[in-house]
Amino acid sequence: MSAFTPGLKLHDRYLLDRRIGSGGMAEVWQAHDLVLGRPVAVKVLAGPTAADPALRAGALREARSAAQLTHPHITAVHDFGEVTFPDGHVEPYLVMELLTGESLAELMARGPVGWARAAVIGAQVAGALAAAHARDVVHRDVKPGNIMITATGAKVLDFGIAAMTGLPDATGMLIIGTPAYAAPERLRQKAADPAADVYALGVLLIEMVTGRRRNGIDSWEQFEAEHARPRPLPPLPGVPPAITALIAAAVDPSPARRPRADDLAHALGGLAAPAMPGSVPATPAGPNPTLLAPTGGAISGAARVPAPATRVQAVPRPKAAPPARPKRGGRPLLAVALVMAIIVISGVLLIMSALNEPTDPANAVTTPTRSPSRPARTTAVVKPSPTPERGGPFAAVKLLSDLNDAVQKLRDTELITPKQKTELENGLRNISTKMLQGDWDEARKRAENLQKKVEGWADDAEGDAKEAYEPVQKLLDELEKLAKRNS
């Protein structure tokens, strides 16, 4: 606990009113800016940050970086200072905007958020992270307690303050953060980078749509044991495949294969827009709605998703140097164009799956509603575009878009059975997911398998039905060749 008390005046400007949050790393106070006449939040740093002069200097550097960030979903930083008390100890503090709303931890405590709202919140948080990453600022402690839900949307707190990289000593290094949301590479590299923020956001998305903690990690020892045996993404019932694919990419064990924050923001926003236009709705507040999320620790109420505290721990250095990590310069295979192609491939299916998606879509069979009189059978004629000369994600955009159109027209003809329709849709989702993750070899294999299925259906068909399969077959063949060139 800090030495701050109600009525304390900081540098003749900030008058402390009451403590509104506390955790292992800091306390948050509501205060009044006597110069500008406005309410503010004052965060006093505690623990090793307050005691170590080197870390205090680091806090100042990070505060300066955070103060340069201007984004609608980033909490504004106004000032930074230090208070020296009569006994000689020093406590640094940060002055920020005071927010009205509730923390994401409190929102999640009431149960699953719903995939559409989770995507909107995720898009806003990803946009905030992207703005920070563009200025070489990494958050390093993205978690429910560091995100506020306000009338204007999500607000990210504590950029560069909640989890500063510690200075290494002769035997180990200081890691500050929340193990439950830390990326696997945190234990083998001295400093986190933007990919670690994306991983944490991926974990947040999982917890928002499921309403429960992804893991029970509360310490760095548990963190190390958990990531020694990576587990696949658990099923996310009711979540559209395109959203699931984005989440899977965000929590990929390899930092190089994760999307950039700006790509994730565009993709999540585009996928959520048809189902939930506009920003995150305002959260109803009580008589005194002004508050700031606690830095860590348990939240009030019977939380289904408790808020783990930020932890500081010296972790031994790895015995061997980690493999050289690919440079993240430029766009990875998960380019904005490919992400938008995933949105195209989802199309109408996204809304349909949001309303009524079976838990196991691979085994689902949809029975179409038929009118009393059977409509005349028509033939789908879609001329496939020539194979794009440019390889990679940008070529995949056109192919996936054309393939989606061909499949939709084939479905409308009633020339395929409900089971074939389901297998075709799931096959396209699987291919797009692998492309989204940059796994071109697996995308090629899945395109080849789907091509064989379609060929079998065409062989068994007669007349108009046989001809109707040709556009899909040609486009799948082009997609398979494109994936092969990039694998």
Binding-site annotation, residues for ATP: 43
Count of residues in the chain: 487
How far is the first Cα of the chain from the last one, in angstroms, to the nearest whole number?
Answer: 55
Per the DSSP assignment, residues forming a β-bridge with 44 are: 27, 93
CA distance 221 to 138: 24
33: phi then psi, degrees, rounded to nearest 5: -80, 105
Which H/E stretch holds residue 10? strand 9-10
User: Which parts are annotated binding residues?
Assistant: 43
User: Quick check: 149 and 103 in contact, CB under 8 A?
Assistant: yes
Distances (CA, A) of 95 to 10, 16, 108, 439: 10, 11, 27, 45
The structure tokens listed for 27 are 């306390």
| Of residues 311, 343, 327, 290, the one with CA closest to residue 119 | 343
CA distance 318 to 303: 36
User: Residue 158: left (phi > 0), alpha (psi -120 to 50), or beta?
Assistant: left
Q: Which of 17, 33, 87, 141 is catalytic?
A: 141
| Of residues 124, 70, 122, the one with CA closest to residue 239 | 122
The structure tokens listed for 304 are 């289904």
CB-CB neighbours of 10 under 10 Å: 21
3-state DSSP assignment of residue 98: coil
Indicate the Cα dihedral angle 384, 417, 271, 268, nearest 10°. -90
Q: Is 218 a catalytic residue?
A: no
Q: Which residue has the tokens 């993240």?
A: 328
Output the furthest CA–CA distance in the chain (Å, rounded). 93
3-state DSSP assignment of residue 387: coil
| Of residues 355, 373, 362, the one with CA closest to residue 449 | 362
Per the DSSP assignment, residues forming a β-bridge with 96 are: 41, 77
The structure tokens listed for 154 are 């999500």
∠28-118-179 over CA atoms, to 5°?
A: 55
Q: Which residue has the tokens 């959520």?
A: 272
CA distance 401 to 419: 22
CA distance 83 to 327: 41
Q: Which residues contact 331 (CB under 8 A, 6 or more apart)?
A: 260, 263
Catalytically active residues, by annotation = 141
